[in-house]
Chain A
Amino acid sequence: MSNLDNLPGNLKYTTSHEWINKETDGTIAIGITQHAQELLGDMVFVESPAVGRQLKAKEECAVAESVKAAADIYAPVTGVVVAINSELGDTPEKINTDPYSAWIFKMKPDNAADVDALMDAAAYQTLVDSEAH
């Protein structure tokens, strides 16, 4: 089972294990959770969406590849890609060492309320706990 003691309270979460940070400029940053990176193991490659791409909520848009597995990353809400974290191109392991700083891409949501409707830390914690076996 994951150690979720450090689950940041200021972030939003999805059932597909992405975290979402509301930036001050109205955009959102998206990464994968501690729980997800722990299961996937050492990251070796990140494929990001193109800047300017229009995404629908739950659309497959990026891939995190560890040594052992490829995992799809989904758009948490509908919106447009405004930035990608090119630093991860050379240092994908940042997702392992500091998953909540290693954002993968940023979006401008069509509707800010969609972001507020995502799970908070407590709900995500409950989800992970309920799925643990």
Chain B
Amino acid sequence: MAQANLESAVNAATEGAHGFIRNLSGKEDRWGEADILPRLFYFFERLLMTLKHTPLNAAHCAMGAKMVDFGGWDMPLHYGSQLDEHHQVRRDAGMFDVSHMRVLDMRGDGVRDFLRYLLANNVDKLQSSGKALYSCLLRPDGGVIDDLIVYFMSESWFRIVVNAGTADNDIAWMIEQAAVRAPKLQISSRDDLAMIAVQGPNAPAKLWLALPGSQKLAEGLKPFNAVEWDSMFIARTGYTGEDGFEIILPATAAPSFWQTLNDVGVKPIGLGARDTLRLEAGMNLYGHDMDETINPLEAGLAWTVDLVSERDFIGKAALVTKPKTRKLIGLVLQDRGVLRDHQVVKSSHGDGEITSGSFSPTLNQSIALARVPSAVQIGDMVQVAIRDKMLAAKVVKYPFVRNGKGLI
């Protein structure tokens, strides 16, 4: 079972919440003979599970992708070198298959009223068609069910994009809430759609080449705005800290569009680089930096929660009354090594934990997001337990990188 163990180590690092090997950098055996139980679980899971495919699965394989099980989806980890792909996005343009994420359309009268109550951020900020908002979906106790982007298209149509691994749970929660507050609302899961992200400083110019006629419509799009164009939905959003677009299109049209993008020099980027790009950009990853046991104020997401207006929403009472004892900060490792998820952070104010750690290809050193006691300040030095050593790390403001440039 050594193979399954090695592969699960890589997979667990790709999506920690899903991995059976809990702590990659701890003392657990990874390639050896111990810990047979997790490996047995993994073996039987693999045996029973049929991996889901996006419409671009064959294209990934044809492009030489190293495919991995990513939360039940057969997805590209890299197409040769994760580092090259990372730099490709920072310096030029790359494309990501994000079709595993779920597109939901909410239609009917009173969608806005319902979303005003359902989401922690305030959809009243969305007043022009195509405008997008990042928000958390909260439990009544303030725990994060998911993070999402909601697009206002019309008073009877809002589009929501949620994470792949949480989609079924999200929909069940939304339906449960709608049954009480907006029984006539239609919530549809658009499994007929695919999603491709085109990111990087040259993403706009290359998109105009790939989609003749799109420039006129999409050039003026401001960040967090979307426009419909034929059967495509083009949004100026992303998960890399670079300029670019996320394009939602019919699944049947995705393979030829992917090929056209490739033909104009947009290179395919795997999930490995997607993770280092988002970490450098200081963007949270659900299941790592927050989950149902963490509220958004403890996850660096206070800016996405509207506690100012009179509006009531699910989770508000808990957020207002709960004392805030922890916060999310950035770390830069001062020594050689690599910060990883779940490593313990020792500060003079108490212990914390790394929620996302990796190597930053842009900065050429290791960076992390960590949840620590609120008294820890920017500029403090902390110690991180990496295997049998304590290594120094500096507390910094994040993002670490934006638009190709290091900020620390």
Contacts and interface: CB of A to CB of B under 8 A. Distances in A.
B81 interface: yes
Interface string B390-408: 0000000000000000000
B2 A68 contact: no
Given A41-B78, A42-B82, A67 B31 contact: no
A66 B273 CA distance: 12
B66 interface: yes
Interface in B263-280: 272, 275-276
B95 interface: no
Contacts of A89: 336
A132 interface: yes
Given A67-B358, A68-B13, A39 B83 contact: no
Interface string B1-35: 11110110110111000000000110001111100
15 contacts: A16-B2, A39-B10, A41-B66, A45-B337, A58-B33, A60-B29, A60-B32, A63-B387, A67-B358, A67-B361, A68-B275, A69-B12, A70-B340, A71-B31, A72-B32
Interface string A110-133: 000000000000000001100111
Interface string B71-84: 00000011001110
A11 interface: no
Interface of B is mostly: mixed
Contacts of B2: 15-17, 127, 131
A101 to B, nearest CB: 19
A76 B66 CA distance: 28
Given A42-B81, A68-B10, A132-B3, A16 B31 contact: yes
B134 interface: no
B46 interface: yes
- 8 closest A-B pairs by beta carbon, nearest first, are A131-B3, A16-B31, A69-B13, A42-B83, A44-B359, A68-B13, A65-B338, A70-B25
Contact of A69 (B10, B29, B81, B86): B10
Nearest to B31: A16
A39 B7 contact: yes
B401 to A, nearest CB: 15
Given A74-B32, A128-B3, A133 B25 contact: no
A83 interface: no
A90 to B, nearest CB: 11
Interface of A: 15-17, 36, 38-42, 44-45, 47, 58, 60, 63, 65-72, 74, 89, 96, 127-128, 131-133
B330 to A, nearest CB: 18
Contacts of A72: 29-32
Contacts of B13: 68-69
Given A39-B66, A41-B272, A127-B3, 16 more contacts: A17-B6, A17-B31, A39-B6, A39-B10, A40-B10, A42-B83, A58-B32, A65-B338, A66-B82, A67-B359, A67-B361, A70-B340, A71-B6, A128-B3, A131-B2, A133-B46
A47 B25 CA distance: 12
Contacts of B1: 131
A39 B10 CA distance: 7
A69 B5 CA distance: 12
Contacts of B12: 69
A69 B9 contact: yes
Interface in B333-360: 336-338, 340, 358-359
Given A16-B2, A128-B3, A70 B24 contact: yes
Given A41-B272, A42-B82, A47 B9 contact: no
Nearest to B81: A42
